[in-house]
Amino acid sequence: MSIGLILRRKSSHLTPTLMAQQRLPKPRSTQENLVTVRGQEPQDLPQSLWSQKDVQEACLMRYFVDELAQWFDTCDPSKHFAKVVPQRAANCPALLYAIFSASARHLSRSQYLRTNEVLCLGKKLPFLGDDAALEYQSLCISHLMSLSGNPAEVADENLLAAAVILRFYEEVDLPLVGVDDETYLRGVQVFLDAQGAVAVRDGGLRLAAFWVGIRQEFHTSFIKQRIFQFDLSCCDHSTYRLLDQADDPTWANRVILHCAHTLMYCYDERSHTMKEYEQLWDYNQGWNRMAPPTFNPIYLRQPDRSKDEVFPELWFLDDCIVTAIQHWHLARILLTAFDPRVPRLGPGRRAAVGRREAEIKESMFILCGIARSNKTAPALITACMGVSMCGDRITDRLEQEALLGILTTTEETHALSTTKAQVQLREAWGWIHSDGEFPSRKLA
């Protein structure tokens, strides 16, 4: 299916005013731009898309590099989204406007929540808000649509990067209760299906964007409780299916791929065998056992309940390891919740269910402890996934409030809407007075 057909509905946000303000020529492919640059002398180079950028767009680019790129680069030691993507954006309109769209949405929401105005690098941005984010988004989509009929463009790594950045926009809007329309899913899927095999083989920005797309799809699938949508056959004979010696980013991406396969087992409508489950469980335990020593916490302290502490404190060396350990626990939660070995009847059922509930609670609390103990940008988001899907199981009031604190902290810190998840948990916990209000005790 053409990405133009997939995304055309969203492009309706492009306003006539903004159309009239566009200073860009008819979009050309990234390959055309690169050929032109290489074939000309410096004085003849085509004008960069940086030309005539105002302070708002300069701030948005800086905000992406300084704040948002780390969300994409957590498992990429080369930091392609911080270092390569901004350079490529100078000659790729789709990539440029994807960056502006993501930055505008995140910056306007996070700043406005705190100050009722948008400030960036000491500059007031009075015209930055959701409308501006939608306009940048529409510009990006219009460029993607204009190039979508060319198979060579579907294989362009810059457009794959633009597509996954656009899906970040969707993630910011996702309310953690699985009600988004997944408009960008199909757009990312077109590029991933076309480029997956080359990405795994050649690396670079294409591989970095590939793994971002896989993580994004896992997060959405986990929240929506549905099967993983992307074709992962390109990884079947790669190092990402193994447990042999490798660098830390490879180990991190191995467990993310394992998460995707686990989702397929849990939510696929076809019947599965016990052997399939045992293979997933063995891989999960094998990954935990064989991962390098760098994946061990450098500091670990259990919570002190006498001080109303709920979550353990765990420090890890870097973002890549934090991402990997949190995803391992999400996979463990899925495998525990869908364990076919639990007796359906008989005296052993209650004990088996109790053990698995304890394991799910342990993983959820570790997710939260990691998020509170490490400054990694996506760590709180990942913890919220566990809280929103498993928090209803908790009956202790102190623990409930601590889980709610993870959601509220995430909304305050990252401008990610957790309101619906909070309401659902409060309803599940019965936090309702006769007057309809939700009681709450201030967290220590």
Q: Which of 371, 370, 364 is nearest to 330 (CA)?
A: 364
Query: Would you place residue 31 in the very low, low, confident or very high pLDDT band (cuts 50, 70, 90)?
Result: very low
Q: Is residue 224 predicted with pLDDT exceeding 80?
A: yes
Q: Which of 195, 231, 186, 230 is nearest to 2 (CA)?
A: 186
Q: Rounded CA gap, 421 and 443, in Å?
A: 18
pLDDT for 411-434, tens place per residue? 888 878 899 999 999 999 999 654
Give the model's pLDDT for residue 27.
42
Tokens of 149: 């009929």
Q: How far apart are the first and last CA of the chain?
A: 53
| Pairing, β 119-120 against β 123-124 | antiparallel
pTM of the predicted structure, to 2 decimals: 0.86
Give the model's pLDDT for residue 45.
38
Q: Is residue 237 predicted with pLDDT exceeding 90?
A: yes
Query: Would you place residue 150 in the very low, low, confident or very high pLDDT band (cuts 50, 70, 90)?
Result: confident
Report the pLDDT averaged over residues 301-329: 98
Residue type, 297: P
Q: Please, which residues bridge with residue 119 across strands?
A: 124
Lowest-confidence region among 59-63, 114-118, 297-301: 114-118
Q: Is residue 20 predicted with pLDDT exceeding 80?
A: no
Percent share of the chain, pLDDT over 70? 79
The larger pLDDT score, comparing residue 15 to residue 325, is at: 325
Cβ neighbours around 114 below 10 Å, total: 10
Report the pLDDT averaged over residues 7-35: 42
The larger pLDDT score, comparing residue 440 to residue 19, is at: 440
The larger pLDDT score, comparing residue 326 to residue 180, is at: 326
Q: Is residue 221 predicted with pLDDT exceeding 90?
A: yes
Give the model's pLDDT for residue 2.
46
Q: Average model confidence (pLDDT) for the chain?
A: 85
Characterize 320-338 residue by residue with b for buried, 16 or more Cβ atoms within 10 angstroms of its Cβ, and e for exposed. Answer: bbbbbbbbbbbbbbbbbeb
The larger pLDDT score, comparing residue 442 to residue 330, is at: 330
Q: Please, which residues bridge with residue 123 across strands?
A: 120
pLDDT for 390-411, tens place per residue? 999 999 999 999 999 999 999 8
Report the pLDDT averaged over residues 160-184: 70
Give the model's pLDDT for residue 1.
46
Residue type, 402: A
Report the pLDDT averaged over residues 312-324: 98
Task: Specify the 3-state DSSP secondary structure of 197.
Answer: helix
Q: Is residue 30 predicted with pLDDT exceeding 60?
A: no
